[in-house]
Amino acid sequence: MKRGFSIAVACVLFIAPALAQTPKLKDVTIRGYVTEFRSPTDFDIEDYRIARDQVLALDFENASPDITFELGDIRVGVELEIKGSLNEQSGELKARSVKVDLEQFKSIKQTAFVSVRPEGIQLLDGTWGGELRADGQLIRITNATAVVFKPTKREKKLAEQKGKANAAADDEEAAEPLKSLDDVTIGMAMTYEGKRDRDTGRILAERIEFASNDLEDGEAKMWKSLKTSVKPAQGLKAGELKIDQIGKFKLVPDADVQAYVTNLGQRLVPAYQRDLPVDDPRKIPFQFHVVQDDAVNAFATPNGIVVVNSGLMEMLENEAQLAAVVGHEIAHATHEHTWRQQQYHKKARFGIALAGIVAAAYGIRSSADMATLVNGAIVSGHQRALENQSDRIGLQYMVDAGYDPRQAPAVWKLMAKQNGVSATNFFWSNHDNEPTRRSYLMNELKNNYRDTDYSQFRMNADEYSRIKAAVVEANGKKKKIKVT
């Protein structure tokens, strides 16, 4: 009797908060890009509907005398940090303070690689004009844009030997106006400088520089140092993937699963990379492996070893979502992010181990990576710019391979659910969090795929669930369904 009574009491206590009419308010901090704008006092960041408190503090980071911002300047694509109270039932966030990092309105400089023959720009009366799709986004070129070609050291030497160039010419002088689009070849580096137009999201280019992209000696050495080998399965022992400097991983013992991810990955590799002959030093020898690890994670090494954890595959719902993650990782490799980051840190006189950079290049972060985050560079502006680039280019790879790019932001929705990570979590509130990444992708879709007919894209949910079941099976984990 006594026992029954206490159970009944417990039930009542449990139900009571749900019956209460007062909404549950929580103090939160979210950082993200405005995805929908109705008015400066009513807009969305991802799924959060932001309303404004009567008294609102507006703060700035990286202030600069030539950049002004007021609340009336809030629009789609602007990145904000909002502190306020969240009504968890309605998703409404009443903002108490808004912080704006003015860095986003300053001139940007970014390097990407030419993956298709440039279209959309032409030379008229000696100046270039038009719109170029590059680096996963739209770049506007006007007669005020300097469009130049810059020979590499190797090319300069060649020209000198032919007596064409002045050996004393310094770097700036070495750049010459681009004469024809024929001089731009696939795989070339394109460095652009300019500002993002606040209304259209387009980059208004001030300067665009094309240069051949030679595999540098240091880069080739880095590739070599990441020697990779696969030990096949033996009897009951699972196969093993070993990447020098990174570690050893147990492969998911299912040939179908491995072949499936390899096929998917190879389809996402951009055509210009696939088409390079095997002996071309610039060819990245991509490999795709699924390893047994419950952490929701994936990563890529600079020499194209893409590792997908079983835990990630178990979380995702369809092939397009897996394509989003794998495409993002391929972009890290094609855009030489590990190398570029190492060069960057060298300049900043801040040594960082290779393994640390690769780990920090994880597409998907779980709480297990917190240590890396705290120690590492992922929160630096440089790393952030590279993450954004991988997101943009990953979307492009998805689209090129026929996958619905809207599934990319959907991955972050699942991540938030899986990790229980929310704006209320202390750690995430100080860093990029799921809303940041998700709202970034949502914005990129708006900026660059506005006129896209999404019905032509696929998700392949059925095929994916077959493979996912095989991953679960291979891991020997019979998922218990709770029916209580």
Which residues are at the interface with Zn ion (CB under 5 A)? 363, 390
Nearer to Zn ion by Cβ, of 327 and 363: the residue is 363
Nearer to Zn ion by Cβ, of 363 and 405: the residue is 363
Nearer to Zn ion by Cβ, of 390 and 439: the residue is 390
Cβ atoms < 10 Å from Cβ of 6: 10
Task: Report, in Å, the least distance between residue 335 CB and Zn ion.
Answer: 11
The three-state secondary structure class of 98 is strand
Task: Report, in Å, the least distance between residue 372 CB and Zn ion.
Answer: 12
> Taking the CA atoms of the chain, what radius of gyration do you get in angstroms?
25
Nearer to Zn ion by Cβ, of 337 and 406: the residue is 337
Task: Report, in Å, the least distance between residue 365 CB and Zn ion.
Answer: 9
| Cα 80 to Cα 57: distance, rounded to the nearest angstrom | 13
Sheet arrangement for strand 240-243: 228-231, 240-243, 247-250
Nearer to Zn ion by Cβ, of 310 and 390: the residue is 390
Q: Judge contact between 470 and 261, C-beta under 8 A.
A: no
Q: Judge contact between 379 and 373, C-beta under 8 A.
A: yes
Task: Report, in Å, the least distance between residue 358 CB and Zn ion.
Answer: 11
> Which stretches of 310-406 are assigned E, i.e. beta strand?
none
Task: Report, in Å, the least distance between residue 408 CB and Zn ion.
Answer: 12
Rounded to 5 degrees, φ, ψ at 380 are: -75, 155
Please report, for the chain, how many H helices and E strands are present, in that order: 16, 19
Q: What residues contact 182, with CB distance under 8 A and at least 6 apart?
A: none
Nearer to Zn ion by Cβ, of 152 and 372: the residue is 372
Task: Report, in Å, the least distance between residue 362 CB and Zn ion.
Answer: 6
The residue number whose beta carbon is nearest to Zn ion equals 363
| Cα 175 to Cα 152: distance, rounded to the nearest angstrom | 10
> At residue 198, what is the residue type?
R
| Cα 86 to Cα 84: distance, rounded to the nearest angstrom | 7
Nearer to Zn ion by Cβ, of 44 and 444: the residue is 444
Task: Report, in Å, the least distance between residue 474 CB and Zn ion.
Answer: 26
Question: Residue 3 corresponds to which tokens in the numbers above?
Answer: 């026992």
